[in-house]
């Protein structure tokens, strides 16, 4: 999950003068802790003093201060240069970022009705403030002036990177368009926002519309009691007593597909799932899909790009659509072959059981589960005792010490927003102070789901001195009980390492400027690479010890864990790639096509690929929320692209030794320290000696011949 802001170029922004004078006085009388230097250890946020009523005035004051700072940049009588324009813009808005970071963290990890209502007030203020900076023509004129002289300015590579990204963000927002074009761009943005909203609303209504309501126990054939109980609970919530209800929400549908022996019912629910938004009713999404792709195409052309995909990919590591297409195609052929073998394995089971039918898409989960039990059986309850939270934490700490020499020491005197939060001060091997890490492990009603890494303060330099980062990890891990400490599942242990990797990139970061720009397809490199170590026997045996006996995890369990990573990989890769390729096809249109048939387009794309009838793309167009309602258009591929990066980077450690200091130092210096502060590909090449190769990923997914 993410975590890092993607392109944090404009930390805050502009000239909403209406806000200025009046509001800042409100909290001036009582001591708002954001308005004076903190008297806390390591200059950490004074959570013991911060009260909800401090946020709104502090955010308003932060906006006002940045407005003044931007005005000063714009009205500077001196000719624009790097320091008085780019440097000054980067340095502006410190108070706003600080308050926002603290407030944002609480919104996720420790919210309340009060926090939610403050957010309703501050969100539009901050959005308008950001727009005002992006649309400030005088500011852009100064940035452009510096950009136009860049060849003779003798800038450092970090300065060049900041200049290029800042300029590019203005241009991508339409800064170079004439007035008429700007008007059209605003119309397109508005229409797109409306269509995306409608797409999402329709999908929600379609998803909620279908219910598989079962009234007879016979209909529950094959379901474990826990799955039946869940369906009974759903029926209760829906006021349908005496029934068992399954929905087309994935957590409800998947166990049904996995365990139900009622093939007719599996077909019924699966068809309902795959036909969402494609039923010709008033919530049909086909016209909206066509509208969105055509408007995106027009917008890209207006801004000077061949296609929407070309526009999106410009800021990614892949750079151009052809690079993504070639990458996906390299994976596609071996993945399809593996999926065909998986189909054959499952058909053997069907035939052996005397089922006289050919495997269909709604059968896949059911027979894959049988394969899993036969070939890869892993018992979660046998594994958990080896993954006590404190042991896993110690395993990660010692990994960081082995790789980077880092030391973690607990601080109980640093104020926290909730008593459950643990705080660690991080030091280099030679004792130099690195930063602070806050960890908040368990679910609370005030915390949103999932796991993420964030920060209260990002690293930068202020007047030549390093500002130390304050990083956070927030999770929802299994709690301890009266009988046992917190015992993690293997997935949870990997999630912990994943988020820790994001935090390491924050803590070890060593960029001069506060603005960072991480390509979306590389955001998951520092996090995913950390997951690799967790199940390597060399590390595993050092931390995975039984919480009662202290015995090291048995070799047989380790072997099973490693085997299980190959289970169902053909299917998972194919259904994911099919959706990624569909996404690219939609967004590589180079001309709007008003008469386009959505189903026909999709069918043609999938037939062209040779997709087998037993598999449906993970998302069909009419319910592909990521690309038509979320922010992942021409970007669904990023997950597997990042996996290529982490697999290739980890290969360096496999070649030189899992804890090889020189390899770790190179990864740290080239990748982690300059992450988002310099162009990533050259940094990656400096670490690896070459651009990332696909083979380690193929090997990991069992796709090598």
Candidates 61-69, 169-177, 409-417, 517-525 — which segment interacts with Zn ion by CB under 5 A?
517-525
Measured distance CA(399)–CA(676) in Å, rounded = 24
Closest approach, Cβ 5 to Zn ion, in A, equals: 13
Closest approach, Cβ 410 to Zn ion, in A, equals: 25
- Return all residues near 161 (Cβ < 8 A) that are at least 6 apart: 517, 677, 678, 679
- Number of residues assigned to the chain: 705
- Tell me phi and psi for residue 369, to 5 degrees: -65, -40
- Tell me phi and psi for residue 455, to 5 degrees: -155, 150
Site string for Zn ion, 431-470 (x = CB under 5 A): ----------------------------------------
Closest approach, Cβ 524 to Zn ion, in A, equals: 5
Phi-psi region of 249 (alpha: psi -120 to 50; beta: other; left: phi over 0): beta
Beta strand 422-427 with 407-410 is antiparallel
Candidates 89-97, 527-535, 638-646, 686-694 — which segment interacts with Zn ion by CB under 5 A?
527-535
Closest approach, Cβ 3 to Zn ion, in A, equals: 5
Closest approach, Cβ 638 to Zn ion, in A, equals: 11
Site string for Zn ion, 134-163 (x = CB under 5 A): ------------------------------
Nearer to Zn ion, 102 or 525 (CB): 525
The residue count for binding Zn ion (CB under 5 A) is 4
Measured distance CA(393)–CA(217) in Å, rounded = 45
Candidates 234-242, 355-363, 518-526, 561-569 — which segment interacts with Zn ion by CB under 5 A?
518-526
Does residue 499 have an active-site annotation?
Answer: yes
The contacts found for 124-128 with CB under 8 angstroms, 24 or more apart, are 125/16, 125/19, 125/59, 125/60, 125/63, 126/12, 126/59, 126/63, 126/96, 126/100, 128/16
Locate 574 and state its tokens: 């194919």
Nearer to Zn ion, 2 or 160 (CB): 2
- Return all residues near 308 (Cβ < 8 A) that are at least 6 apart: 293, 296, 297, 299, 300, 587, 588, 589, 633, 634
How are strands ordered across the β-sheet holding 470-474?
407-410, 422-427, 433-440, 470-474, 452-457
Candidates 372-380, 516-524, 573-581, 653-661 — which segment interacts with Zn ion by CB under 5 A?
516-524
Site string for Zn ion, 2-31 (x = CB under 5 A): x-----------------------------
Nearer to Zn ion, 6 or 350 (CB): 6
- Return all residues near 237 (Cβ < 8 A) that are at least 6 apart: none
Locate 44 and state its tokens: 């950490």
> Is residue 527 part of the contact set for Zn ion (CB under 5 A)?
yes
Nearer to Zn ion, 1 or 176 (CB): 1
Nearer to Zn ion, 2 or 40 (CB): 2
- Tell me phi and psi for residue 462, to 5 degrees: -125, 120
Candidates 402-410, 477-485, 522-530, 625-633 — which segment interacts with Zn ion by CB under 5 A?
522-530
Candidates 338-346, 401-409, 426-434, 519-527 — which segment interacts with Zn ion by CB under 5 A?
519-527
Candidates 228-236, 273-281, 422-430, 523-531 — which segment interacts with Zn ion by CB under 5 A?
523-531
Closest approach, Cβ 527 to Zn ion, in A, equals: 4
Site string for Zn ion, 474-513 (x = CB under 5 A): ----------------------------------------
Beta strand 433-440 with 422-427 is antiparallel
Closest approach, Cβ 259 to Zn ion, in A, equals: 31
Residue 625 in 3-state DSSP? Answer: helix
- Taking the mean position of all CA atoms in its chain, how far away is CA 462? 29
Nearer to Zn ion, 146 or 523 (CB): 523
Note whether 621 and 598 are within 8 A (CB): yes
- Return all residues near 508 (Cβ < 8 A) that are at least 6 apart: 404, 434, 668, 672, 673
C-alpha radius of gyration, the chain, whole number? 27
- How many CA atoms lie less than 13 Å away from 573 in the CB half-sphere? 31
Note whether 92 and 29 are within 8 A (CB): no
Nearer to Zn ion, 70 or 439 (CB): 439
Could you identify the residue written with the tokens 């409100």? Answer: 26
- Tell me phi and psi for residue 273, to 5 degrees: -65, -45
3-state secondary structure 255-305: HHHHHCCCHHHHHHHHHHHHCCCCCCCCCCCHHHHHHHHHHHHHHHHHCCC
> Is residue 285 part of the contact set for Zn ion (CB under 5 A)?
no
Nearer to Zn ion, 32 or 453 (CB): 453
Closest approach, Cβ 453 to Zn ion, in A, equals: 7
Nearer to Zn ion, 1 or 512 (CB): 1
Candidates 133-141, 388-396, 401-409, 525-533 — which segment interacts with Zn ion by CB under 5 A?
525-533
Helices (H) and strands (E) in the chain, counts: 28, 9
Closest approach, Cβ 502 to Zn ion, in A, equals: 6
Closest approach, Cβ 165 to Zn ion, in A, equals: 22
Of residues 82-101, which lie at the interface with Zn ion (CB under 5 A)?
Answer: none
Note whether 38 and 82 are within 8 A (CB): no
With CB atoms as reference, the residue minimizing the distance to Zn ion is 527
Catalytic residue among 159, 459, 499, 614: 499
Nearer to Zn ion, 339 or 530 (CB): 530
Closest approach, Cβ 110 to Zn ion, in A, equals: 21
Nearer to Zn ion, 219 or 643 (CB): 643
Please give the positions annotated as active site: 499
Contacts to Zn ion by CB under 5 A: 1-2, 524, 527
């Amino acid at each position: 999950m993410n975590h890092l802001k993607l392109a944090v170029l404009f930390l805050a922004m502009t000239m909403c003068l209406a806000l200025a004078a009046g509001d800042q006085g409100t909290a001036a009388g009582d001591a708002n802790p954001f308005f004076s230097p903190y008297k806390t250890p390591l200059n950490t946020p004074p959570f013991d003093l911060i009260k909800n009523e401090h946020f709104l005035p502090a955010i308003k004051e932060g906006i006002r201060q940045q407005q003044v700072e931007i005005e000063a940049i714009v009205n500077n009588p001196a000719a624009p240069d790097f320091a008085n324009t780019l440097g000054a813009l980067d340095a502006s808005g410190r108070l706003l970022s600080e308050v926002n970071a603290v407030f944002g963290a609480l919104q996720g990890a420790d919210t309340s009705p009060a926090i939610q209502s403050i957010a309703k007030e501050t969100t539009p203020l901050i959005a308008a403030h950001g727009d005002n900076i992006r649309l400030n023509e005088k500011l852009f004129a100064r940035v452009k002036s510096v950009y136009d002289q860049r060849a003779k300015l003798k800038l450092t590579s970090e300065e060049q990177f900041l200049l290029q990204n800042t300029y590019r963000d203005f241009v991508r927002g339409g800064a170079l368009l004439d007035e008429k074009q700007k008007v059209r761009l605003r119309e397109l943005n508005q229409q797109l926002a409306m269509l995306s909203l409608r797409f999402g609303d329709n999908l929600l209504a379609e998803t909620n519309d279908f219910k598989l309501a079962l009234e007879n126990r016979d209909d529950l054939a094959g379901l474990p009691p826990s799955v039946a109980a869940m369906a009974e609970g759903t029926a209760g919530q829906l006021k349908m007593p005496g029934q068992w209800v399954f929905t087309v929400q994935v957590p409800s549908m998947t166990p049904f597909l996995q365990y139900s022996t009622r093939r007719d019912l599996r077909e019924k629910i699966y068809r309902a799932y795959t036909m969402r938004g494609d039923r010709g009713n008033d919530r049909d999404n086909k016209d909206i899909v066509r509208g969105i792709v055509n408007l995106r195409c027009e917008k890209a052309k207006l801004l000077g790009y061949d296609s929407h995909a070309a526009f999106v990919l410009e800021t990614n590591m892949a750079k151009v659509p052809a690079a993504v297409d070639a990458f996906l195609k390299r994976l596609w052929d071996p993945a399809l072959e593996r999926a065909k073998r998986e189909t054959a394995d499952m058909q053997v089971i069907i035939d052996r059981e005397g089922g006289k039918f050919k495997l269909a898409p709604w059968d896949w989960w059911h027979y894959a589960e049988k394969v899993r039990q036969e070939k890869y059986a892993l018992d979660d309850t046998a594994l958990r005792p080896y993954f006590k939270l404190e042991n896993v934490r110690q395993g990660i700490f010692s990994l960081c010490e082995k790789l980077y020499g880092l030391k973690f020491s607990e601080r109980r005197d640093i104020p926290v927003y909730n008593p459950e939060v643990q705080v660690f001060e991080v030091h280099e091997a030679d004792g130099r102070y690195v930063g602070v890490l806050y960890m908040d492990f368990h679910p609370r009603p005030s915390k949103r789901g999932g796991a993420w890494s964030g920060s209260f303060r990002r690293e930068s330099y202020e007047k030549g001195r390093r500002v130390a980062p304050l990083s956070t990890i927030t999770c929802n891990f299994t709690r301890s009980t009266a009988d046992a400490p917190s015992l993690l599942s293997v997935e949870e242990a990997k999630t912990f390492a994943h988020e820790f990797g994001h935090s390491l990139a924050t803590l070890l970061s060593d960029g001069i400027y506060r603005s960072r720009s991480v390509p979306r397809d590389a955001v998951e490199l520092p996090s995913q690479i950390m997951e690799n170590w967790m199940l390597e026997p060399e590390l595993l045996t050092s931390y995975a010890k039984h919480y009662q006996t202290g015995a090291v995890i048995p070799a047989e369990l380790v072997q099973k864990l490693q085997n299980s990573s190959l289970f169902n990989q053909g299917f998972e890769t194919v259904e994911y790639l099919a959706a990624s390729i569909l996404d690219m096809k939609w967004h590589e249109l180079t001309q709007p096509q008003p008469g386009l048939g959505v189903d026909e387009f999709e069918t043609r794309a999938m037939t062209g690929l040779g997709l087998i009838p037993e598999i449906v793309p993970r998302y069909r167009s009419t319910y592909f929320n990521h690309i038509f309602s979320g922010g992942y258009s021409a970007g669904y591929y990023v997950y597997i692209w990042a996996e290529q990066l982490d697999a290739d980077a980890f290969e360096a450690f496999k070649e030189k030794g899992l804890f090889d200091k020189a390899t770790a130092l190179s990864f740290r210096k080239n990748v982690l320290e300059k992450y988002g502060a310099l162009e990533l590909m050259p940094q990656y090449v400096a670490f690896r000696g070459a651009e990332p190769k696909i083979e380690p990923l193929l090997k990991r997914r069992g796709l090598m011949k």
